Structure 1
Amino acid sequence: MFHAMHRTATFALYQLTIALGILLMPVALLARRVGVRLPVDRMVEAAGTAYERTDAGRRSD
């Protein structure tokens, strides 16, 4: 039961991170023009990796 809740919460966090990345895209593009790099891609990648690990743990049960 706990594992299912953890997987659901991780998936929700992953989806929220993707939505945040999409919303921040114009800000990130403007920041890059100024010379500042926002770590939006790393944030999305980290959330995706966490979800994949959680999903892989479910398959091994």
Structure 2
Amino acid sequence: MPTRIHRAILFALYQTSVATSILLLPLAVLTRQVGVTLPAHRIVQRLEQAYDATA
């Protein structure tokens, strides 16, 4: 059973990844025009799933 500290760390990591993804959005748009995709959504989804699993 996950502890409160584990859940709090996952929450902080999830929120940080969302904020980082938002900040990288202009870069992602530019790289998408070149044909390169930034896989930031994978990190956000994995952290979201991990956080939800602790509930």
Percent of aligned positions with the same letter in both sequences?
Answer: 46
Amino acid at match of 1:27: L
Query: TM-score of the superposition, structure 1-length normalised?
Result: 0.82
- State the superposition RMSD in angstroms: 1.1
Distance 1:47 1:27 in 2: 22
Equivalent residue, structure 2, for 1:43: 43
Structure 1 residues without counterparts, runs of 5 or longer: 56-61
Structure 1 runs (4+) deviating above 6 angstroms are none
CA positional deviation for 1:26: 0.7
Aligned length: 54
**Runs of 5+ in structure 2 lacking a partner?**
none
Cα distance in 1 for partners of 2:7, 2:25 equals 27
Q: Deviations over 1:6-61 (max 9, x none)?
A: 00000000000100010011111110000001001111111111110112xxxxxx
Bigger Rg over Cα: 1
Relative to total residues, which structure has the larger helix share, 1 or 2?
1
Higher relative contact order (CA 8 A, sep 6+): 2
